[in-house]
Amino acid sequence: MTATAHALVGAAIAAKIADPAIALPVALASHFVFDKLPHWDVMTEADRGNHKAIFIKSTIDVLVGFGIIFLLFHNSPNFLLICLGAFAAQLPDWLEVPALLGFKFRPFELNYRFQHWVHDVGFNSRLKAPWGVITQLIVVLIFLFWALR
């Protein structure tokens, strides 16, 4: 999923589950669950050697997600927890960056391999646009409706 979609799902979870001890692990786990749904993301059709383009697109993706979160939840008394939920839902992708850049540090490499295993076990969950965007939009709208009602 895109960083925006992960962030919005994690924010919705934290908005609805006010206990950080529950909300943050659930938001983190949501990353892997929703990465198994057919989806499109920056890496789906990326030239993995073009780190600058991936960085720019990923940065925009993260900023859009947190911008939407600010617009939807900035008046919430749990705004910090909501932002932490969004971050927790994105965390596995953040931890992938050093491995993508070639840093040889075992925890990052294991995370990178695990993430690719999640995408590929049983079937490849990456789906080209527009269908891979539509699946995420449906999931995000369901979670936002749940959180904001």
Q: Are 63 and 42 in contact (CB under 8 A)?
A: no
Cα 147 to Cα 26: distance, rounded to the nearest angstrom: 14
Q: Enter the tokens of residue 14.
A: 């934290």
Phi-psi region of 139 (alpha: psi -120 to 50; beta: other; left: phi over 0): alpha
CA–chain centroid gap for 121, Å, is 19
**pLDDT value for 46:** 66
- Mean pLDDT confidence for 112-138: 85
Query: Does residue 130 have a cis bond before it (omega within 30 degrees)?
Result: yes
Average pLDDT, the chain: 90
Question: What pLDDT digit, counting tens, does each position of 9-67 carry?
Answer: 999 999 999 999 999 999 999 999 999 988 888 777 766 667 787 788 888 999 999 99
Q: Indicate the pTM of the whole model.
A: 0.90
